[in-house]
Amino acid sequence: MSGLPAKYFEDITVGEELEPLERLPTEDLAVDFFGRDNPTNPAFRDAEVGRRQGFGGALVPGLLKLAWITQYVSRWAGANGRVRMVRAAYRRPDIAGRPLTIVGRVVDKRIEDGVGVVDLEVATLANGQPSVHATVQVELPPRERAE
């Protein structure tokens, strides 16, 4: 990703916390993500329907949260990092108009076939409670190979 600083495998420490990032999924963003003609649950395309169904507004699509998680990790990995794998478990719905915080931490790192592999745990939090939990693998080059 151009414009991002380079990050190397040796720069990473197991237990390191990623800087939290707050995102605000507006009702328009949540509804427009799938499109207003999407045939899924009407609460994804109409905030009023979401309120009538007891959710409090439009539901935030899980795929939007997954996209934000992937973007968050990609930026953390820097210019020479690469997201290798993302697995997500959706724990509970989020409602548009309520802020989400994306958090992460390094849980493991190792060299595989000359490439640095870093395992991360990442989550979206609403009111401090996780709504999506993801495990992510990132490839980072060792410093000596990158220079």
CATH code for the domain in which residue 66 is found: 3.10.129.10
Q: How far apart are CA 99 and CA 42, in angstroms?
A: 22
What is the extent of the structural domain holding 46?
Answer: 26-58
Burial class of 9 by CB neighbour count within 10 A (0 to 12, 13 to 18, 19+): buried
3-state secondary structure of 89: strand
Question: What are the tens digits of pLDDT across the range 37-53?
Answer: 665 677 777 778 888 88
Q: How many domains does the chain have?
A: 2
Is position 4 within any domain? Answer: no
Is residue 141 domain-shared with residue 81, that is, in the same domain? yes
pLDDT of residue 15: 98
pLDDT of residue 28: 80
Is residue 16 domain-shared with residue 70, that is, in the same domain? yes
Query: Max alpha carbon distance in the chain (Å)?
Result: 58
Is residue 38 domain-shared with residue 105, that is, in the same domain? no
Question: What are the tens digits of pLDDT across the range 87-126?
Answer: 999 999 999 889 999 999 999 999 998 899 999 999 999 9
Whether the CB-CB separation of 12 and 118 falls below 8 Å is answered with yes
Is residue 114 domain-shared with residue 132, that is, in the same domain? yes
* Whether pLDDT at 1 is above 50: no
**Sheet containing strand 82-90, strands side by side:** 17-23, 100-112, 115-126, 129-140, 82-90
